[in-house]
Chains A and B, each alone.
Chain A
Amino acid sequence: MTDADRPTRTLPGPAALAIAAVLGTAVTFVVDMGLLWWAALIIGVVVAFAFVVLTRDMVPEEFRAGADGTREEGTALHNTLVVPMVLVLSLAGGLLSAWLLDLQLIEPVAAALGGLIGSALAFVLFHRLGAMLALSFAAVLVAGVIATGVTAAVLFFSGIPPTATFARMLEYGTRPDSMVQIINDSTTYYLAAVAVAIGFKMKLFNIGVDGQYRLAALLAAAVGGYLILPPVISQIVVIATAVAVGGAWAGIAGYLKVARGVSEVISTIMLNAIATGITAYLLSTDRLAVQISTNNIGTPPMEESAWVPGIPAGFLGSDNEIFGLVFLAAAVGVAYSVMLNRTRFGFELRATGQSQSAAEASGVNVKKMVFLSMLFSGMVAGLVGLPQLLGSSHYYALDFPTGIGFIGIAIALLGRNHPVGIVFAALFWSFLNQAAGILPFDAIPQEIAVIAQATIVLTVVVVYEVVHRWGRRYQQQQIGRQLGGTVETTGGGEAK
């Protein structure tokens, strides 16, 4: 095609998408016969991407608006940032899905399907990815690179070869059993992070998730252990107990904030300490606990009818099971997203978080919002212990996992309080935890994972803020330029 006929020909959006997808899949499939699957896939997606770039002017206008609506295609930012970001993201998407599919399907099919997904992503992202979202992805990418660099430097100066260590972690972290563990950990972390994020959206810092989930898990376990109820009803009662306890415990902090002006940071820290005291008091053989083994006590184990069955992870090649409550976490995520973006309550929550004074002047009852968001945060926090309780341990004992509330804070920060962002943050976090498990066998300190986690949280927060601010200023300038043009023409007289 020549430059001259480009603007005259048009190509309907869906047709262009179909061509790109078919092209990418076919190229991947053909090249796969000669090369390794990942090389074939990269070539396939790049070909599809090139097609999308070349046909950019032929796709009709309404298919092209940026996510935040400004005319972005063709601007310097779009060319230098969004376009490369699209290529990186579609390659990553294609490779990841091909690798996952490969666990189930034969390799050529998996590679071709990966090519299909990558090519489709290339088209959709190229026409729909807004500069601000691309900036966010770029920020995360940069933060990842910095964090990897810092971790590598620490390893290097400790006399440990960084690349070999990373390769070892990657290899161990992607074993089937590790993946099941990662998914299970992420389920728990995700719930904790959503609980924290609900508060963050209101500029409330619920440090008390930790105490809320421990108390909720203990009491829910006691209810499940002592009350013998028919299946389904039993699970519902246990979950309801946990939600109620978590909500009530956080509600105390919410009430203190609203009625007495006590900072929720202080009160939730105090409530954590009190929760520790209460669990220690209740978890004694005189009260709620029974002897579980010679040196462990806990609530009586639940009947099998009260368990939540796991999902066999055969499709990942593992004999272990994924927590059934992963669906509960997904449901919480969807509910969080819908609540935030589609309901009046969510709007008022975000408005209060952005500007308390504006919310007040608009008739939002700020005190009510503070109390309710604290309450909801606590209710979600109550769920944190349940995947473990109902899916694996079936009782609350001295060895029940602690400290998840604090991990939730880090993950909420990492995922920018976004329902989907938190998913990736949680998966990444538990991947590092799990992958580091192999290091002691090679006499490498396991704490390297903690260093990586800490640096990534810091860098993401800082880089994201810097990039976001810069992006906003850039966007303002773009708008100023677009509108400035019209003013100058009506200004009369002056040369442009």
Chain B
Amino acid sequence: MSSTPSGVETSGPPAVELHGITKRFPGVVANHDIDITVAPGTVHAIVGENGAGKSTLMKTLYGMHRPDEGRILIRGQEVRFHSPSDAIRHGIGMVHQHFMLADNLTVLENVVLGAEREYGIGRRARARIQELSDQYGLGVDPDRLMEDLGVGDRQRVEILKVLYRGAKTIILDEPTAVLVPQEVDELFDNLRELKREGLTVIFISHKLDEVLSVADEITVIRRGTTVATADPGSTTARELATLMVGGELPVPELRESTVTDHVVLSLDGVTVAAPDGRPVVDGVSVDIHKGEIVGIAGVEGNGQSELIAAIMGMRPVASGSIALEGRDITGWSTLKVREAGVGYIPEDRHRHGVLLESPLWENRILGHQTKAPSVRGRWINRAGARADSERIVEEYDVRTPNIDVIADALSGGNQQKFIIGREMSGAPRFLVAAHPTRGVDVGAQSAIWEQLREARAAGLAVLLVSADLDELIGMSDTLHVILRGRLVAQADPTTVTPEQLGSAMTGAGLHGEDGPTEGDSGADGADGADRRENGGGA
């Protein structure tokens, strides 16, 4: 792999050059003095910890906002993008971390949507999609309905969308965050194919092993600026990590076990039905003890959100029961559940966790509007809420000028720290933590882990749902795998590897490991692999 840069035709100017890019932006990290040169026909990785400013930089390159200073050159020619369509016109395409696809449309319709002028919407468009799909080995069927496709296929559709619009340089923003290890390998095969066809790929990630295996050149970003350019052939993951954080990467891990035999939350055969009657959570039974963190691993969309919604009283439970400290709380309202001492860190903080346009101290009241110190009877206790917000800002290191700024003005990590501080206040007995460190910078990440550890030591019971397998393995006392609404396997977090977990998540079972496997995983595994056609093909 170290020989690849020499294999590239040296003719022609660099595909993309960024010089002295500075972008000031709400939040903790601003881009400043970024210098990157991307050679054509290569996979160029940009690595940096969460919140280092990678996404901000790529949004600048994609024309989603303009840099305050600095120059962008595309194939040697200076450009100024006012919008993504300018970027597309110059052959820059971007695949976002979160897919932007309409579930109820077919692949063809999704690809053509917004680019009807390229090849129409009929036969010519279909032919072009087929041609691109064959040329780059994407294996996309234009007539499949989007909702039938798995995550890996969806990502290939996103790449196809970009190619269809004539992109010569493709930006992939954290493409592996939503994939299990097997799908990651397939993606990398696709990327090598793209490279072979002469396209340039800018690959953003914070996962070093992946970067080392696929990139031709690596640029490291730390605290908003480029700190080094590395050759993957002569660099180790450890060296990259040191460059990324300027020190050792924090590792999520628990110290000695604090698990007691006192059951705080007990789920017994909990089933949640979709509007069409199909179970999305299917007979989940699990006990969570005082001082225990129970992790749930699973590909997104396998019932995690619904399970949480059921516990929080936001969705009705079709059958089964939920008990908190021996009291049956099935069917309780969200308010009653919260009042009974359940904290909730929602997976989508913008939708469920904060009022973006309200000041921080009003956000302190949210979800706690019936409890001191935010209220006194029917009246809002401004002084109490403000004082307690000050405490949270202080204790949880929320970076904000004061508690009167609106939540929207803070970076995601700081919003999250505030939410966690809020949910930890009032001494909860049980905490639902959904993706607690998603989109949070490294400093905040280790702070959040530390808070969870302390609360656990103090006897808190936690249900942890996360897409970050390292976090799950490192933070959980007990680890379950959820697949299509069922708990299909239980893994021992002290021995399981992310790869084993990943294969269990796709339904292949915890192979290569003799850990206990829950009843029906065999059958499920078989048809799970079936459904996801190319499950083991790569």
A residues lining the B interface (CB < 8 Å): 68-71, 341-348, 350-351, 354-355, 357-358, 360-365, 472, 475-477, 479-484, 486-488, 491-492, 494
Contacts and interface: CB of A to CB of B under 8 A. Distances in A.
A363 B334 contact: yes
Nearest to B335: A363
Contact of A68 (B339, B346, B404): B404
Contact of B408 (A70, A472, A484): A472
B409 A475 contact: yes
A348 B358 CA distance: 12
A375 to B, nearest CB: 17
Q: Which residue among B246, B337, B380 has the maximum number of chain A CB atoms within 10 Å of its CB? A: B380
Given A341-B380, A479-B409, A491-B223, 20 more contacts: A69-B402, A69-B403, A342-B382, A343-B380, A347-B362, A350-B355, A354-B356, A355-B351, A360-B352, A362-B367, A363-B313, A363-B369, A472-B406, A480-B26, A484-B24, A484-B29, A487-B28, A487-B224, A491-B224, A494-B32
Interface in B238-253: 246
Contacts of B358: 350-351, 354
A481 B24 contact: yes
Interface string B330-373: 00011111110000101000011111111100100111111000
A221 to B, nearest CB: 34
B375 interface: yes
Interface string B1-34: 0000000000000000000000011111110110
Contact of B380 (A344, A365, A477, A479): A344
Contacts of B408: 472, 476
Q: Which residue among A342, A358, A481, A491 has the maximum number of chain B CB atoms within 10 Å of its CB? A: A358
> Considering the complex of A and B, which 3 residue pairs feature the smallest CB-CB distances, nearest first?
A69-B404, A363-B335, A476-B26
B385 to A, nearest CB: 10
Q: Which residue among A361, A477, A480, A494 has the maximum number of chain B CB atoms within 10 Å of its CB? A: A361
Given A362-B367, A475-B409, A483 B28 contact: yes
The DSSP consensus for interface residues of chain A is helix
B368 to A, nearest CB: 8
Contacts of B409: 472, 475-476, 479
Contacts of B117: none
A358 B400 CA distance: 22
Nearest to B353: A358
A68 B359 contact: yes
B314 interface: yes
Q: Which residue among B333, B401, B409 has the maximum number of chain A CB atoms within 10 Å of its CB? A: B409
B379 A362 contact: no
B522 to A, nearest CB: 37
A343 B366 contact: no
B397 to A, nearest CB: 12
A365 B333 CA distance: 8
Contacts of A342: 379-380, 382
Interface string B380-394: 101000000000000
Interface string B30-65: 101100000000000000000000000000000000
B366 A483 contact: no
A346 B365 CA distance: 12
B419 to A, nearest CB: 11
Contacts of B346: 361
